[in-house]
Amino acid sequence: MSGPDILAMTGLGALGIALFSVCFTFGLKLSTAYNGSLLINSQPIFTTLLAPLIIKEDFSLVRIIGALAGGVGVYFIVAGGLGPGDILTHVYFRGNLILLGGALSISIYSILLKRYVIKYGGFIPTFLTMLSGTVFLLATALLLSGSDVFQGITLKSWPLLIYIGMVGTALVYPLFNLALKANGVIRAVGFKLLIPVFGIVLSVVLLGERPGLFTYIGAVIVIASVYLIQRLPAGATEGKPA
């Protein structure tokens, strides 16, 4: 493995792991959970628009329509019938802007990481980017909080933290990178539009919640949008211009 590749993946860790996490955390603090879910899940839209420009991945009108429809579906799920003026007010402008920055950062991370996933497989890029991202995150936490960075973490918190670290991070990123290698950036990232859909199902099964009509409408739109994003343009192959 060459030095420039290691340096590049280190930088991608800072972009897609550290910066994304910071943007998501601070954006959520300055905004709302509704806005956070909607804006962070705008990543497939950025990816569909930018991947053809940055790495010449397949471009088609159907995919653009699919990405935009996915954004609408996520909005229905998150807003639950509320109008834009009710959830995207000026009070949360800074937080919303930070959340969009997080979605943009992880989109660019996914696009640029593809070449290293193809070159080295899914696990080496995952290890290097997460290692560098963790170092940058720790440095940021120490800079902002000093010696109090771990204060407040109780014994009861550790099982949840271990679960998030192992299942929500250590397992998810290698699987995503393998999908990135096999399916291309746009198709792999498109599946992230299903996150709110799974959220609905799990909230019903585990928490007994009862989503409203708009939530179910949004879920149908999201599933349809994922189908559109997965379609290759006629005669095209993944990773080559259409």
Residue with the two structure tokens 């010696």: 147
Residues of the chain with pLDDT > 90, as a percent, come to 14
> Could you tell me the pLDDT band of residue 82, with boundaries at 50, 70 and 90?
low
The stretches of the chain forming alpha helices (DSSP H) are 3-13, 20-30, 33-40, 43-54, 61-79, 84-87, 93-120, 123-145, 157-165, 172-183, 185-190, 195-207, 213-230
Give residues with Cβ within 8 angstroms of 192, minimum separation 6.
Answer: 41, 43, 44
Distance CA 45, CA 106 (A): 12
Give the pLDDT confidence score for residue 159 in this predicted structure: 87
- Res 144 pLDDT > 60: yes
Distance CA 144, CA 59 (A): 42
Give the pLDDT confidence score for residue 241 in this predicted structure: 40
HEC string for 71-124? HHHHHHHHHCCCCHHHHCCHHHHHHHHHHHHHHHHHHHHHHHHHHHHHHHCCHH
Domain chopping of the chain, boundaries: 3-146+153-230
What mean pLDDT comes out for the span 197-214? 77
Give the pLDDT confidence score for residue 229 in this predicted structure: 76
Model pTM greater than 0.85? no
What mean pLDDT comes out for the span 26-35? 78
Q: Which of 35-39, 51-55, 83-87, 177-181 has the lowest mean pLDDT?
A: 83-87
pLDDT digits (tens, 9 = 90+) for 4-22: 999 999 999 999 999 998 9
Distance CA 77, CA 172 (A): 23
- Res 242 pLDDT > 60: no
- Res 151 pLDDT > 80: no
Residue type, 186: I
pLDDT digits (tens, 9 = 90+) for 217-239: 877 887 888 778 776 555 454 44
pLDDT digits (tens, 9 = 90+) for 89-139: 667 778 888 988 998 999 999 999 989 988 988 789 988 998 999 999 888
Distance CA 43, CA 27 (A): 15
